[in-house]
């Protein structure tokens, strides 16, 4: 199974289900940037329920900016805010402390380009999950891609209707199970069992 995906920020569980089962992974590098997608945001389970963490990006005057050219806005200390939110959400989860140091390193860095950050988050999480992370990148944009299973829509939370088995979440008793959050939710709650979980799910 050869899949085509968008590189996203600490991707959704659905993206990792696709990656865990794929024979080859190719990432879309040549699309136009779309606002309000997981390209620069992730969703976590906070003490108040669903929370979105958004990376501020620099917008140019050009109408269509390539995703590969998108730069991160450095005027805000969003890294500190995101990590504090992750701590508040997952400090009491079974595996947060186990992965904390590795995850924190990403928030200590200053990335210029959004895609560099996204690839780093995917590389790190794949390592934590024990999943191989070999991939190719596109060199031009095609609307129709018959040679791939096209999962590019998974980058758009509104179009991603994936439903997965429930697992224990920190605030589950308070708000119930929240489906298809960032892969970090699964990692911090399930640890080494997360890979097994991903392989059992259907897209």
The number of helices, as runs of H, and strands, as runs of E, in the chain is 7, 6
Q: Is 1 helix (H, G, I), strand (E, B) or coil?
A: coil
Q: What is the pLDDT of residue 157?
A: 86
**79: pLDDT confidence band, cut at 50, 70 and 90?**
very high
Strands (E), 21-144: 24-27, 41-46, 49-54, 135-137
**Average pLDDT value for the chain:** 96
Contact status, residue 164 vs residue 13, Cβ threshold 8 Å = yes
Does residue 64 carry a pLDDT above 90? no
Does residue 62 carry a pLDDT above 90? no
The larger pLDDT score, comparing residue 108 to residue 64, is at 108
pLDDT in tens, 171-180: 999 999 999 9
Percent over 90 (pLDDT), the chain:
92
Strands (E), 60-139: 135-137
**91: pLDDT confidence band, cut at 50, 70 and 90?**
very high
pTM listed for this prediction: 0.96
Angle at 161 between CA 120 and CA 186, to 5 degrees: 45
**1: pLDDT confidence band, cut at 50, 70 and 90?**
confident
């Amino acid at each position: 199974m050869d899949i085509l995906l968008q590189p996203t920020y600490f991707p959704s569980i659905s993206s990792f289900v696709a990656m865990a089962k794929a024979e080859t992974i190719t990432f879309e590098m040549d699309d136009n940037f779309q606002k309000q997608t997981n390209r620069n945001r992730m969703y976590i389970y906070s003490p108040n329920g669903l929370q979105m963490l958004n990376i501020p990006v620099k917008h140019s005057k050009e109408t269509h900016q390539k995703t590969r050219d998108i730069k991160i806005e450095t005027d805000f200390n969003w890294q500190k805010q995101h990590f504090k939110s992750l701590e508040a959400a997952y400090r009491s989860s079974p595996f947060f402390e186990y992965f904390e140091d590795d995850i924190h390193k990403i928030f200590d860095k200053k990335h210029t380009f959004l895609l560099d950050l996204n690839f780093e988050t995917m590389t790190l999480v794949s390592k934590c999950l024990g999943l191989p992370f070999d991939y190719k990148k596109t060199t031009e944009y095609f609307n129709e891609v018959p040679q791939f299973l096209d999962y590019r829509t998974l980058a758009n939370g509104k179009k991603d209707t994936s439903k997965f088995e429930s697992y224990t979440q920190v605030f589950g008793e308070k708000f119930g199970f929240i489906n298809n959050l960032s892969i970090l939710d699964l990692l911090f709650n399930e640890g080494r069992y997360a890979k097994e979980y991903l392989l059992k799910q259907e897209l």
